[in-house]
Amino acid sequence: MTKALFSRRDTSVIGRWWWTIDRWSLSAILMIMGIGVLLSFAASPPVANRLNLSTFYFVKRHLIMVPPALLIMFGVSLLDTQNIRRLASFVYLMGVAMLIFTLFHGLEVKGARRWIMIAGTSLQASEFIKPAFAVLVAWMLAEKYKEPHFPGLSISMGLMDILVLLLLLQPDLGMTLVVISTWIGQLFIAGIPLIWMGIIAAMGIIGLCGAYFLFPHVARRIDQFFDPSSGDPRHDLYQVTQSLEAFMQGGLFGRGPGEGIIKKNVPDAHADFVFAVAGEEFGLFLCLFVVVLFAFIVLRSLIRAMNDSSLFIMMATAGLVIQFGLQAFVNMASALHLIPTKGMTMPFVSYGGSSLIALAIAMGMLLALTRKRHGIVDVL
């Protein structure tokens, strides 16, 4: 079918795009988005009813954002590396401005200011700046490799420090850890000496200890993870307890579409705990399929990038998939109580309009960077 639609001799923009794009990763992304739509129908209606909204309020909002996300992902995937860097620079600067605006005019939810309202839609600026940060760090480190006297490492550290400071002021420790992990992973690929990696790791451990003592909500979640009896099961541990019960009730094949109980009791069933809804209604096999899809995108993109001659492409791709994979892992591990609970959505699956658009930009960048470049040599 695709051969009939797009001949290898087709020199149009879409024709060249089709034969150079990583169609396997694109297919996996589209399948994850399809599962997100399916779980939106499964998890959102009871949440909307509890909030006295129309039954399919969240479903409609999710579906409205899917076409723009697809168009944005396609548009960004058409860009070359130079324009990817330009886009990342623009998004980073806009993201910093929005983060500063959020600190003063953002919505306060559970003691944190992470969202701003635009045209009736809540927007989390950190979701947009995250992929731009990964691309800019890769750019700076690649320039450092090309020209040893270029202060690429210092600039990348400055980009991270600005972002981490703004995130901690919200506060958003989970997103902070994702940003720092991205930076460390890219430094490792860039070949930074192991002694420096050890120093950075030690600083990270000190930072985590500091967060435990500086942020009461972090200390409470860690204490409850290691000692569940320290929390109130009706409040502090309620969502986690319900989530684990949902997985047990789901078994191998699930209770069936629409038959789940967790979505009727858990406030964040359509967002942070959507994985539990999948486990209860569709069973272990769908959950494993979701895990395989995320792992496939991460591993295939890394393998494809490592075969590229461009250090910039290797590091930018690594940064983007570290963020993508880590966000999915944190969401699933929190639902399974493998780590302390952290309010982080599952990419393309959890409800969230601005999150869909931000992820579309990130995956568009990933698809653009991993396209085949016959006859093109990029020294960066």
- Nearest residue to 273 via CA among 221, 333, 353: 333
- Tell me the average pLDDT across 263-292: 89
In a domain, 239, yes or no: yes
In a domain, 8, yes or no: no
Helix residue ranges, H only, 106-151: 125-146
In a domain, 14, yes or no: no
pLDDT digits (tens, 9 = 90+) for 161-216: 999 999 988 888 888 889 999 999 898 888 877 787 788 778 878 877 877 777 77
Specify whether the CB–CB gap between 17 and 370 falls below 8 A: no
Helix residue ranges, H only, the chain: 2-5, 13-20, 23-50, 57-77, 81-105, 125-146, 152-169, 173-190, 194-214, 216-226, 238-250, 262-265, 274-306, 311-335, 353-369
What is the distance between the alpha carbons of residues 110 and 172, in angstroms, rounded to a whole number? 12
* pLDDT on residue 377: 41
- How many domains does one find in the chain? 1
- Is residue 375 very low, low, confident or very high in pLDDT (cuts 50, 70, 90)? very low
Beta carbons within 8 Å of 3's beta carbon, 6+ residues apart: none
In a domain, 189, yes or no: yes
Specify whether the CB–CB gap between 264 and 234 falls below 8 A: no
DSSP string, 220-252: HHHHHHH-GGGS-TTTTTHHHHHHHHHHHHHTT
In a domain, 9, yes or no: no
What is the distance between the alpha carbons of residues 380 and 144, in angstroms, rounded to a whole number? 10
For 372, list phi and psi in degrees, rounded to 5: -70, 140
In a domain, 284, yes or no: yes
Lowest mean pLDDT among 2-11, 154-163, 233-242: 2-11
- Is residue 120 very low, low, confident or very high in pLDDT (cuts 50, 70, 90)? low
- 112-118: strand order across its sheet: 107-109, 112-118, 121-123
The Cα-based distances of 82 to 136, 139, 211, 369, 378 in angstroms read 11, 10, 38, 10, 10
What is the distance between the alpha carbons of residues 54 and 43, in angstroms, rounded to a whole number? 14
Helix, strand or coil, per DSSP, at residue 68:
helix
Helix, strand or coil, per DSSP, at residue 291:
helix
State how far Cα 317 lies from the chain centre.
14
Specify whether the CB–CB gap between 112 and 171 falls below 8 A: yes
Residue 268, CB half-sphere, CA atoms under 13 Å: how many? 20
* pLDDT on residue 378: 46
- Tell me the average pLDDT across 94-100: 93
Looking at the chain, the number of H-run helices and the number of E-run strands are 15, 3
In a domain, 107, yes or no: yes
Prior bond to 68 cis, omega within 30? no
pLDDT digits (tens, 9 = 90+) for 331-373: 999 889 888 877 788 999 988 778 899 999 999 999 999 998 6
Q: Is the model more confident about 125 or about 297? A: 297
- Helix axis angle for 173-190 and 125-146, nearest 10°, is 20
Specify whether the CB–CB gap between 54 and 341 falls below 8 A: no
First to last CA, the chain: 37
What is the distance between the alpha carbons of residues 171 and 166, in angstroms, rounded to a whole number? 8
Lowest mean pLDDT among 50-59, 79-88, 227-236, 301-310: 227-236
Range of the domain at 312: 34-369
pLDDT of 380 over the 50 cut: no
In a domain, 6, yes or no: no
